[in-house]
Amino acid sequence: MVKKSINLALQGGGSHGAFTWGVLDYLMEDGRVSVEGISGTSAGAMNAAVLAQGYMEGGADGARESLETFWRHVSHMGRFSPIKRSPLSILTGRWDLDDSPAYVMLDLFSRVASPYDTNPLNINPLRELVESTIDFEKVRACSVLKLFVAATNVHTGKIKVFEREELTADMVLASACLPSYFQAVEIDGVPYWDGGYVGNPPMYPLFHTTQSKDILIVQINPIERNETPKTAQEIQNRVNEISFNSSLLRELRGIDFVTRQLRENKLDRSRYSEILVHRIEATEQINPLSASSKVNSEWKFLTHLRDIGRESARAFLDEHYDSLGKESTLDLRREFS
């Protein structure tokens, strides 16, 4: 079977990024595709950097090992956190932290107080995680992968894309900086917030820097929900989902427009090319999870999401492998109509 080259676009979503871990783990194990470029935001940026580091160390197997090590560290750090599932959640088999007093207090403080007031020393547990598990010299040296990490420029409100050759821990932390919890990450005197506000994830860096025209989106945040949010937490969660998906929908709309113009011979094919878009998601399993579960770092939960990701990747390749390089498997018109 011919190995096909693809690009990956990895969304952020806290602990739900373990779903992406599962997808990447299966793709590396399966061997039917090779990854040319990766664009990532927040947890997607961390997964991308970890994969590049592991690939530099030992190819596909090294990438798989590096990803597992990273997520084990995520779980180990969570052991010392007071934010844990309540006994009721454990008994009922729920993964959310909605009944956790520590989570409720953190959520409340994040809505009424600035991290500059509540965390004046700017303590960021993610920094320890990123700096202890990712060797950025190896990431920057991984020339077989194009890597792009997105953050939001606080001053301009515009997207900033950092490339693999310049990537540092600060850049990955900037991509994952939720302003209600962390102080802005400054890079060369410029403050940055989570990249999800302007690119979750951005796809345009992959258009002209890679040979592959296939972009596989690993989507964590649902675009559609059938129920109306009613509690304050549900409303805020849905607002965040809509906000974090808006840039993705804009890019999909742009890709669809260019595709239609090319097929109608209205654009110069020497300057524009058709982008083939695909998606891996797990709507039935991920959508019912509460937003608070994005803070749940229990190993049992992370491996549960990993296994869902692996199965979703397997199902995608089994169904759509033949379409790679030939046609999009994501109905773009349906996504924004």
53-85: pLDDT as tens digits: 999 999 999 999 999 999 999 999 888 788 888
Per-residue pLDDT at 2 exceeds 80:
no
Tell me the helix, strand and coil percentages in the chain, rounded to 5.
55, 15, 35
Local confidence band at 312 (pLDDT 50, 70, 90 cut-offs): very high
Rounded CA-CA distance 38/301 in Å is 25
The predicted structure's pLDDT at residue 333 = 82
Higher pLDDT, 52 or 124: 52
Rounded CA-CA distance 83/89 in Å is 13
Phi first, then psi: what are they for 226, rounded to 5°?
-90, -15
Rounded CA-CA distance 308/71 in Å is 15
Output the furthest CA–CA distance in the chain (Å, rounded): 62
- Indicate the SS3 state at residue 23: helix
216-231, pLDDT tens digit by residue?
999 998 888 888 988 8
The mean pLDDT value of the chain amounts to 93
**Cβ(169)–Cβ(134) below 8 Å:** yes
Per-residue pLDDT at 275 exceeds 80:
yes
Cis peptide upstream of residue 201 (ω within 30 degrees of 0): yes
122 residue type, one letter: N
Chain-centroid distance, C-alpha 266? 34
Rounded CA-CA distance 112/320 in Å is 47
175-199, pLDDT tens digit by residue?
999 999 999 999 999 999 999 999 9
The predicted structure's pLDDT at residue 189 = 97
C-alpha triplet 66, 69, 71: angle, nearest 5°: 110
The predicted structure's pLDDT at residue 335 = 78
Rounded CA-CA distance 137/82 in Å is 34
Local confidence band at 313 (pLDDT 50, 70, 90 cut-offs): very high
Rounded CA-CA distance 186/260 in Å is 41
Which token pair is 112? Answer: 């009424």
The predicted structure's pLDDT at residue 1 = 67
**Cβ(7)–Cβ(35) below 8 Å:** yes
- Indicate the SS3 state at residue 35: strand
Phi first, then psi: what are they for 216, rounded to 5°?
-100, 110
Nearest to 115 by CA among 178, 171, 170: 178
- Indicate the SS3 state at residue 147: strand
Per-residue pLDDT at 336 exceeds 80:
no
**Cβ(256)–Cβ(274) below 8 Å:** no
CA distances from 174 to 79, 190, 196, 272 (A): 24, 11, 11, 32
Which token pair is 146? Answer: 């194009």
96-145, pLDDT tens digit by residue?
988 888 888 888 878 888 999 888 889 899 999 999 999 999 999 999 99
Residues 6+ apart with CB under 8 A from 168: 136, 187
245-274, pLDDT tens digit by residue?
999 999 999 999 999 999 999 988 888 889
Mean pLDDT to the nearest integer, 235-241: 86
147-162, pLDDT tens digit by residue?
999 999 999 999 999 9
